[in-house]
Copies of this chain bind each other. A is one copy, B any other.
Amino acid sequence: MTKFALSVAATDGAARTGVLTTAHGDIRTPAFMPVGTAATVKAMTSEAVAETGADILLGNTYHLMLRPGPERIAALGGLHKFMNWEKPILTDSGGFQVMSLSGLCKITDQSVTFRSHLDGAKFELSPQRAVEIQNLLGSDIVMALDECTPFPSTEQEAADSMRRSMDWAARCKAVWEAPTGRGLFGIVQGSVFPDLRRESVEALTTIGFDGYAIGGLAVGEGQEAMFDVTQATAGSLPTDAPRYLMGVGKPDDIVGAVLRGVDMFDCVLPTRSGRNGQAFTRSGTVNLRNARHKDDSSPLDGDCVCLACQNYSRAYLHHLVKAKEILAATLVTWHNLTFYQDMMAGIRGAISGGGLQAWVDGFLARYAGDREPE
């Protein structure tokens, strides 16, 4: 079986491009991971997600833990088989959703106890159980359990929270059996405090992980602070391990973070927007509810090769959105995911060619040109 390893093929400043090999195949980096919360990328078949060009998707441990349950998925052959996705899967640790979605009961150094947002049932999630669940799911990339530090926090609160996450990271590593072709990632915390981020990087690299995530960002700190933390953190992480910026983000966030050394991204934006009739195009966002699309026979994005752009007009998509047809969600999500994958392909090509900054300048100049907020 394949070794879990990042092979960097080219760099351009802090940015790099290459391939992350896993048990379920290669991931071209920088990579964008569509979010498949409840064992489905909402409104899309797995076959359609693959057609958008995605090499990997993200599953949510919290949701799958509550329903249908990791033991059940394992008995059914694992998450890949369950949702018919044969390429790599990364699962988050559940920490973020436990703290944002559930009825939180108690958090200790050992674990977090919470109530399901579905039916109020009580669950306990420990660092060890987070790894166990992700192993039951069969994830190619397993995330260490971390505490989601609220924003804003005082430096003391952020420090206490970060140190608990570092302790949990060590407990996760202690039970990790390093299965071939699969990796365990630690998550850097420390809010917007540079000293805490440094301490967190040191703690994680001392433990040693197969990859490192930058957590606790895109929570309201603003793009400048996000870029500052990302740049400092990415720059202090090992060069031979993948770097994953969690929950980011908008197209301009992603290109900025790649310039600062990030390899992997996930975000609900293309899928959630897709269900709301909000589309990403090369000239900016487009709100398909807008009546200006009513009689427009042109495609959403003339440069896009997705099913929606090849086969359907803006007028048709506008009609579907207005009529609240399910197909609206499917087609706009399909397009948005294709847009994100095309953007990542453009980024990878530009890094290989040594002209990333020029590519980003061109992309942003065009992208900012015609925004249409939702």
Tell whether A42 pairs with B327 under 8 Å between CB atoms, given A76-B297, A295-B72, A322-B67: yes
A220 at the interface (CB under 8 A from B): no
A231 at the interface (CB under 8 A from B): no
A2 at the interface (CB under 8 A from B): no
Shortest CB-to-CB span from A7 to chain B, Å, is 31
A11 at the interface (CB under 8 A from B): no
Within 8 A of B (CB), among A72-97: 72, 75-77, 82-84
Q: Which partner residue on chain B sits nearest A75 by CB separation? A: B295
Tell whether A311 pairs with B46 under 8 Å between CB atoms, given A39-B319, A67-B319, A297-B77: yes
Report chain B residues within 8 Å CB of A294.
Answer: 68, 72
On whether the beta carbons of B72 and A327 are closer than 8 Å, the reply is: no
A307 at the interface (CB under 8 A from B): yes
Report chain B residues within 8 Å CB of A82.
Answer: 313, 315-316, 319
Count of residues in A whose CB is under 8 Å from the partner chain:
39
On whether the beta carbons of B327 and A68 are closer than 8 Å, the reply is: no
Per the bound structure, the CA–CA distance linking A156 and B204 in Å amounts to: 86
Shortest CB-to-CB span from A189 to chain B, Å, is 30
Per the bound structure, the CA–CA distance linking A327 and B82 in Å amounts to: 14
A304 at the interface (CB under 8 A from B): no
A326 in complex: contacting residue of B68, B297, B311, B329, CB < 8 Å:
B329
Interface 1/0s, chain A 10-34, versus B by CB < 8 A? 0000000000000000000000000
A325 in complex: contacting residue of B38, B46, B307, CB < 8 Å:
B38
Per the bound structure, the CA–CA distance linking A47 and B295 in Å amounts to: 23
On whether the beta carbons of A327 and B297 are closer than 8 Å, the reply is: no
Q: Which partner residue on chain B sits nearest A83 by CB separation? A: B316
Per the bound structure, the CA–CA distance linking A34 and B143 in Å amounts to: 45
Interface 1/0s, chain A 294-322, versus B by CB < 8 A? 11010000000001000111011011101
On whether the beta carbons of A307 and B39 are closer than 8 Å, the reply is: no
A341 at the interface (CB under 8 A from B): no
Shortest CB-to-CB span from A36 to chain B, Å, is 10
Per the bound structure, the CA–CA distance linking A84 and B75 in Å amounts to: 41
A84 in complex: contacting residue of B76, B84, B312, B329, CB < 8 Å:
B312
Tell whether A42 pairs with B325 under 8 Å between CB atoms, given A77-B297, A295-B76, A297-B76: yes
Report chain B residues within 8 Å CB of A311.
Answer: 46-47, 84
Interface 1/0s, chain A 268-307, versus B by CB < 8 A? 0000000100000000000000000011010000000001
Per the bound structure, the CA–CA distance linking A327 and B46 in Å amounts to: 10
Report chain B residues within 8 Å CB of A161.
Answer: none
Shortest CB-to-CB span from A329 to chain B, Å, is 6
Interface 1/0s, chain A 307-350, versus B by CB < 8 A? 10001110110111011011101110000000000000000000
A139 at the interface (CB under 8 A from B): no
A112 at the interface (CB under 8 A from B): no
- Given A68-B319, A82-B315, 11 further pairs, Cβ under 8 A: A38-B319, A39-B316, A39-B320, A40-B320, A40-B325, A43-B330, A45-B327, A45-B330, A68-B318, A76-B313, A326-B330
List 10 A-B residue pairs with CB atoms under 8 Å apart, sorted by A's residue number. A39-B316, A40-B327, A43-B326, A43-B327, A45-B330, A67-B322, A67-B323, A76-B313, A83-B312, A326-B330
